[in-house]
A and B are shown apart, each in its own frame.
Chain A
Amino acid sequence: MTMRELPPAGRRADFFDGVIAVLPLLVAAAPFGLLVGALGVQKGMSPAEITLMSLTTFAGASQFVAVEMWTQPVPVLGLAIAVFVVNLRHVLMSAAIAPQVRRFGLLRALTGLFFLTDESWALALRRANAGHLSLAYYLGLCAPLYGTWSVSTAIGAVVGGVVDDPARFGFDFVFVAIMLCLAGGFWQGKRSVLPWLVSGAAAILAHEWLPGVWYVIIGALAGSLVGALQPGAARQGRPLDAQEALS
């Protein structure tokens, strides 16, 4: 397995392509970073602690859950389990992107995956579908997200209460809007219809009946299963394999 090395100029161009692709999403990440910082301090965490959480866990939804659970004494095991469960969707995501990141080499892949988020993952796969995903492009996606998330957490923690109620400014919908835009990049016409409908329906039902965030896993698995079982799925070639064969 050979890793395709780009010349330095190509690497820089790829990195900045990634930065440009992720820029619109930073606008949405920042308010939530401010909010998680402010909430963390309200719950009794020090600004250093909540910022360290953003630097080491770096996963928005699970951090809001953790902050909500943060009491004295700190429920160490409960927090670890809750955060693990909220982030279980990453297992599916890293499986889906495995064919691409393994070309980075094992050590770089394992380092790069530390920065995997819904946003960087979706944009990275979109890039792979459009041609070739380089490590430089992937880092161009991850670095601004990581910087924005941790800096905005720190600011929110120190300044506090900057964003009282995200719903008031429509920020509750910003996340939904981003996910819908990202989903649009994976629309494959007719063969997406059934998986998407099943995924949405399963997620809504699971959200109704099950606690926590199992709805994401159940919806995703249901949609993916339908994608695998629907007529013609077995013969459906992957464009990524064709790309790999060429390189």
Chain B
Amino acid sequence: MTADLFTLHPTALLALSGMAAGTYLTRISGFLLLGHLRPQGRLGAALDALPGAVLIALVAPQVAAGGVLMWVASAVTIVAARRLPTLLAIVAGVATLLLLRWVVA
């Protein structure tokens, strides 16, 4: 086990390089495409709406599929996030979910 701790297979290295290159490309291309623009008007509004839209799109399917317990926990998180520091809001949301799961189980 200890012997292969540091194994770096050539094919694995090739695969890791491809993954790293592809990921870096996604991280710079938006900047390279739009970096010289000064977004105004509708393009500015689109970029303005983008952060919230990305974050909501990331979680919406999981929340929708998570059932009533997760909907309640999500609502608790959102309400808590408006009043508490982020860490406490996260703790409040997760604690709510665990408590509900424990009660239901």
Contacts and interface: CB of A to CB of B under 8 A. Distances in A.
Contacts of B55: 118, 122, 179-180, 182-183, 186
Interface in B25-77: 25-31, 33-64, 66, 70, 73-74, 77
A245 B55 CA distance: 29
Interface stretch (A10-18, A130-138, A224-232): A224-232
A165 B48 CA distance: 37
Interface string A79-95: 11101100111111111
Nearest to B33: A95
Contact of A200 (B21, B22, B49, B56): B56
Interface of A: 23-25, 27-28, 45-49, 52-53, 56-59, 62, 66, 73-77, 79-81, 83-84, 87-99, 101-102, 109-110, 113-114, 116, 118, 121-122, 125, 158, 169-170, 172-184, 186-188, 191-192, 195-196, 198-204, 207-208, 215-230, 233-238, 241
B54 A48 contact: no
A49 B60 CA distance: 33
B12 A49 contact: yes
B104 interface: no
Given A176-B66, A177-B94, A215-B60, 6 more contacts: A110-B31, A176-B74, A179-B58, A222-B53, A223-B52, A236-B44
A48 B2 CA distance: 11
8 contacts: A53-B16, A56-B16, A89-B54, A91-B26, A94-B28, A176-B62, A177-B93, A241-B44
A96 B31 CA distance: 8
Interface residues of B, number: 78
B46 A224 contact: yes
| Closest CB pairs A-B (n = 6) | A227-B49, A219-B57, A223-B53, A95-B30, A80-B18, A94-B30
Interface of B: 4-9, 11-31, 33-64, 66, 70, 73-74, 77-78, 81-82, 85-87, 89-90, 93-95, 97-98, 101
A236 B73 CA distance: 34
A93 B58 contact: no
Contacts of A182: 55
A91 B52 CA distance: 15
Nearest to A81: B22
A203 B56 contact: yes
A59 B23 contact: yes
Contact of A58 (B23, B38, B66): B23
Contacts of A81: 22
A83 B23 contact: yes
B58 to A, nearest CB: 5
B82 A184 contact: yes
Contacts of B52: 183, 186-188, 192, 195-196, 199, 223
A114 B73 CA distance: 33
A122 B6 CA distance: 35
B47 to A, nearest CB: 5
Nearest to B69: A173
A158 B5 CA distance: 8
A75 B6 CA distance: 21
